[in-house]
Copies of this chain bind each other. A is one copy, B any other.
Amino acid sequence: MATVKLLSDDELSSEARAVFDDIRKVRQSDFINNFWRALAHDPKTLRRTWESLKEVMGPGTLDPKVKEMLYVAVSVAHGCSYCIHSHTASARAKGMTAAEYGELLAIVGMAAETNRLVTALGVPVDQAFLADAAD
């Protein structure tokens, strides 16, 4: 599979190499996963995506583990198998327990079910849920 060849370290442009260097530094690991090797054909998108990811997934208010779990939840809903595998691995690396993973899965499945019931029924939003009402 893949619509592009995954670039090895030897095949990188200098701009792409600089991004790989930063990924290795920030993650304190030599491992570069396939996503970045596929993106490396376009150093501009590689850089912009990495810079955004670093900002979004970096230190903030939410627990890093929770951030990865949110990433998994969205990836499941989008059906992105690669993303599910990589972020499930990250969530585990950041401390997600088997019990937490079980609850994550249960919520993702439950939300899918109620989302479809709501959509099928065309349920109108309650006034109480609108931003103005909350103010």
Which A residues fall within an 8 A CB radius of B?
A: 1-6, 31, 33-35, 38-39, 41-42, 44-45, 48-49, 52-53, 55-57, 60-62, 66-67, 69-89, 92, 97-126, 128-132, 134-135
A114 to chain B, nearest CB (A): 6
Task: State the CA gap A29–B74 with chains docked (Å).
Answer: 31
Pairwise interchain contact B108-A74, C-beta atoms closer than 8 A:
yes
Pairwise interchain contact B135-A120, C-beta atoms closer than 8 A:
no
Pick the residue among B39, B75, B124 that contacts A2 (CB under 8 A): B124
Would you mind naming 5 contact pairs between A and B with Cβ atoms under 8 Å apart? Answer: A35-B114, A71-B107, A80-B115, A83-B111, A87-B111
Given known contacts A67-B103, A110-B53, A116 and B76 CB-to-CB distance under 8 angstroms: yes
Task: State the CA gap A9–B106 with chains docked (Å).
Answer: 23
A1 to chain B, nearest CB (A): 4
Given known contacts A1-B125, A33-B128, A78-B115, A102 and B41 CB-to-CB distance under 8 angstroms: yes
Pairwise interchain contact A111-B4, C-beta atoms closer than 8 A:
no
Pick the residue among B49, B88, B119, B123 that contacts A114 (CB under 8 A): B49
Task: State the CA gap A125–B97 with chains docked (Å).
Answer: 22
